[in-house]
Amino acid sequence: MELNENQVYQLIAKVESINSGAHFCNTTIYTTDGEHINLKLDFEQLPFLAMGKVYQFEAKAIVKIEDELILKCTKIEPAEKILSDEELAKVLDRFYVYAPIPMLEIKKGIEKYLKQINNPILKEITQKIYTQNERTFYLHPAATKFHHAYVGGLSYHTLTMLKLIEPFVSIYPYLNKDLLISATILHDMSKIGEISGVDGEYTKEGLLIGHLVMQTVDIDRVARDLGYAESEEVLLLKHMIISHHGQFNFGSPKKPQTGEALLLWFIDTIDSKFTVLGEALDETKEGTFTNMISVMDKMKFYKSNVKK
């Protein structure tokens, strides 16, 4: 990259490395143009950066020593706060292995289900929490390993679960579709705070509290703000969230005690396990077994050569 003294540059780029010592602080970024560039940072800027994440950097070319020009970072903004949906989708394709379907298609699908919620209390709570997390939601992984552990994995997992609701409700009409849609959209939303990001690990809050409790608290906060805290809808929604891992040994403080809560656990389990199984089978030759699959009690599964 050719630099001109005192010129300000705006770069959309992914963080490749972050280095700091007693007297230095810098980051190496990989731009949309395919260049690896070093930016000098202030120590105060370090908390705003995360490995593997994409930002819009503003940097000024300044003289260091002997007429050497360097780029001094002056501003950092997460890409999802700056770019349009269309621009962000292109950036995701450039830098990451994204979910199996494009971001805009996932977003359109989830918002279609959101519009189907008829209950005004559930609709307002779900819409408010969704809007507060919307941009980050479509970038986040669903886990650090095991299932949907890639950019967009969280929203893709959510959309797949939403697609599973309709067949069950049509067969078992006593199930409340509004509760199921609302809880499915929100059930893993707090993974945004539980996992630090694209190449991230579990946060302190994630390790000490976990996304089931974090999301239940968030629903309670929003419900109180909207004046719905004592409603039956909020009580049932919070129960579904806090019980959606199904068993105490899987991290649920409560077991499911409504039909909707039971189904949320089942469809969450179905998608998480069948997604991993599908990925394993893709790497397995016909007529042989997969490697041991951790989320399937370390069992091996046979890939048949029977044609469809």
- The CATH number given to whatever domain includes residue 58 is 2.40.50.140
Q: How far is CA 55 from the centre of its chain?
A: 17
Which of 81, 116, 144 represents a domain boundary (last residue)?
81
Angle ∠(102,103,109) on CA atoms, nearest 5: 95
**109 and 66 in one domain?**
no
DSSP symbol at 195? B
Nearest Cα to 238, choosing from 259, 213, 267, 262?
A: 213
Structural domain that includes position 153: 96-282
Number of H helices and number of E strands within the chain?
11, 7
Whether residue 50 is found in the same domain as residue 185: no
**Is the CB of residue 219 less than 8 Å from the CB of residue 186?**
yes
- From first to last of its 308 residues, the chain has per-residue pLDDT tens of 788 888 999 999 999 999 988 888 999 999 999 999 999 999 999 988 888 889 999 999 988 766 778 899 999 999 888 899 889 888 888 888 777 888 889 999 999 999 999 999 999 999 999 999 998 898 887 554 444 557 788 899 999 999 999 999 999 999 999 999 999 999 999 998 888 766 567 889 989 999 999 999 999 999 999 999 999 999 999 999 999 999 888 888 999 999 999 999 999 999 989 998 998 999 999 999 999 998 888 999 999 999 88
Distance of alpha carbon 131 from alpha carbon 113, whole angstroms: 14
Domain annotation covers residue 232:
yes
Together in a domain, 31 and 142: no
Pair 175, 248 in one domain: yes
Domain count across the chain: 2
Pairing of strands 69-78, 36-40: parallel
Whether residue 27 contacts residue 15, with contact meaning beta carbons closer than 8 Å, is answered with yes
Cα 276 from Cα 165, distance rounded (Å): 20
Element holding 185 (H helix, E strand): helix 177-186
Same domain, 127 and 275: yes
Cα separation, 170 vs 176, in Å, equals 11
Find the length of the chain. Answer: 308
Same domain (yes/no): 108, 173? yes
Determine the Cα–Cα distance for residues 158 and 124; give it in Å rounded to an integer. 19
pTM: 0.82
Cα 29 to Cα 156: distance, rounded to the nearest angstrom: 27
Residues 206 and 246 in one domain: yes
Same-domain pairing of 138 and 244:
yes
Residues 57 and 155 in one domain: no
